[in-house]
Amino acid sequence: MIINKPLIPILFITLFLTSCASSQNGEKIRSLISPSSEPEVATTIESQPTEDIPQSSPNFEESEPKAITQSSSGITPQQLNRRVKQFTVRIDGVQNGSGVIIDESDNNYTVLTNWHVVQEPGAYTIQTSDGREHRVNYQQVQELAGVDLALVKFNSEQNYQIAEVGDSDYLSEGQSVHLAGYPGVKTNNDRIYRFYNLNIVSLLDTPINKGYSVLYEGETISGMSGSPLLDDKGNLVGIHGIYRVDDPAIRKGSSYAIPINTYKELVAEEPETTDTVASQQSPSPVAIKEDTKSVDNSITVSKKQTDNIIAHQEGQASEAIATQPGPDGMVVELLSTKVTGQILTVAFLFYNPEGGKVFSQPINQVNYIEDDTGKQVGVLQNEQGGYLASPGTPQRLKVHRSSDPSPVWIKFPVPSPETQTISINIPEVIPFDGVPIK
């Protein structure tokens, strides 16, 4: 290439100026590049190597396997199923059903099931979790009075797990429960064990069909009658027995169980009879006051109850405001009514000189009525929905029918300022009318 000579000085001057500018601005140019950028990346990589990430953050959800659903007790349904399967049995015979082992004594096992499963006399066998079949002596089958429950016994030298009996008073709508049993008919050899995860949808205040009051979602199959209903801890809280179609158009219905506390109350041991109790006269109806003439015929009043009530009427019972009869010989004494701020506290004594079983009633049926306004007022509840009353559970008043008095207290909202007297109502107890407010 030929370069014009007059241009040579101009090229040298241009190159010289460019070199100076580069030398003066070199630091400025280098300062535009972060001196720590690449080292910082290197440091970050070295301080958190891939293989060390799980160790440095073991609680990260990303470092854990996919979660397995757990119950509120921390037991997974799989763990619960393994436990429940050990005490759930299959009943074959004239009728087919399921059952649960609830007791053992001297190699004699007791199974709780539905009465309609074994009510027809005949030959029955019980198949346990190990596949063994045990003959049932039908003469030992026991129907529990008034409910669709029965006790069936079998003998075995094998060691079988026994169910832990829970407390059905703590059941609530929306609670998760579990059902285990053997649906199907034996002739098709399809009676295999099944385990269901369900939810309670309703609890009836008044049982239907001989004791059924716990409703839960889902359709069940023939052969499941007598199956155990269990809470998240694996405790026995009911006995499944019937399925009813709520909407025939879509064939959708609910399953029903008898709460286990019904069984517990029926088999509760009677207290020992003393000479004093044995010498008392047989219970006989009695008219106490004008306001108690309409006593329900299902409530019998014993001589001891009569003596207590008459003693109060004659002014001999100074501690009680009033005394009324309850079910099965029980006596209920109203001790006091006390207003504190906006709360009315009512205290009672429950006792039964003749002994008996547990007195258990839904607290939402306990109330008082303002005599002057006719306004009905229910029991106070806490933030969790539990009723403020004792003894019992958050939803039920529960008193052991014993000759030893049991103190009971119930808290209500305070009556209207102009109200002077109220009438207090407890299921199966004659109402306390005209109670003064202090």
List, for residues 106-139, the tens digit of each pLDDT value: 899 999 999 999 999 999 999 999 999 999 999 9
Q: For all residues of the chain together, what is the average pLDDT?
A: 75
Question: Which among 103, 98, 230 has a CA at the least distance from the CA of 162?
Answer: 103
User: For the chain, what are the domain ranges?
Assistant: 66-267, 275-436
Angstrom distance (rounded) from CA 135 to CA 375: 60
Write out the two tokens for 138: 């039908």
Q: Provide the 8-state DSSP code for 393.
A: -
CA neighbours within 13 Å on the CB side: how many for 226? 32
Angstrom distance (rounded) from CA 265 to CA 195: 28
List CB contacts of 268: < 8 A, sequence separation 6 or more.
357, 358
Angstrom distance (rounded) from CA 214 to CA 174: 12
Question: Mean pLDDT lowest for which of 16-30, 95-109, 164-178?
Answer: 16-30
Contact 209, 148 (CB under 8 A): yes
Q: Band of the pLDDT at 52, cuts 50, 70, 90?
A: very low
CA neighbours within 13 Å on the CB side: how many for 387? 26
Angstrom distance (rounded) from CA 337 to CA 331: 18
Pick the most confident of 27-36, 362-371, 378-387.
Answer: 362-371
Q: Band of the pLDDT at 363, cuts 50, 70, 90?
A: confident
Question: Is the pLDDT score of 240 beyond 50?
Answer: yes
Question: Which among 141, 89, 153 has a CA at the least distance from the CA of 115?
Answer: 141
> Which alpha helices (DSSP H) does 32-168 contain, by range?
37-47, 53-56, 77-87, 115-118
Angstrom distance (rounded) from CA 285 to CA 247: 46
pLDDT > 90: what percent of the chain?
45
Question: Is the pLDDT score of 268 beyond 60?
Answer: yes
List CB contacts of 97: < 8 A, sequence separation 6 or more.
91, 113, 114, 117, 118, 181, 223, 224, 225, 226, 227
Write out the two tokens for 393: 């559970």
Per-residue pLDDT tens digits for 12-44: 555 555 555 544 444 443 444 344 333 333 333
Per-residue pLDDT tens digits for 275-310: 333 333 333 333 333 333 333 333 344 444 445 444
Question: Mean pLDDT lowest for which of 9-23, 189-203, 230-244?
Answer: 9-23
- Please state the rounded mean pLDDT for residues 55-73: 38
The CATH code for residues 275-436 is 2.60.40
Angstrom distance (rounded) from CA 148 to CA 121: 16
Per-residue CA distances from 22 to 15, 19, 26, 221, 248 (Å): 11, 5, 6, 90, 92
Question: Is the pLDDT score of 258 beyond 50?
Answer: yes
Question: Any idea which residue has 């290439």 for tokens?
Answer: 1
Question: Any idea which residue has 């059905």 for tokens?
Answer: 168
Sign of CA dihedral 70, 76, 80, 81: positive
pTM exceeds 0.75: no
CATH 2.40.10.120 describes domain 66-267: yes
Q: What is the pLDDT of residue 188?
A: 56
Q: Band of the pLDDT at 228, cuts 50, 70, 90?
A: very high
The three-state secondary structure class of 66 is: coil
Question: Is the pLDDT score of 437 beyond 70?
Answer: yes
Cis previous bond, 436, omega within 30: no
Cis previous bond, 391, omega within 30: yes
Q: Indicate the length of the chain as a whole number.
A: 438
Tell me the one-letter amino acid at 62: E
Count of other CB atoms within 10 angstroms of residue 305: 25
Question: Which among 259, 153, 273 has a CA at the least distance from the CA of 216?
Answer: 259
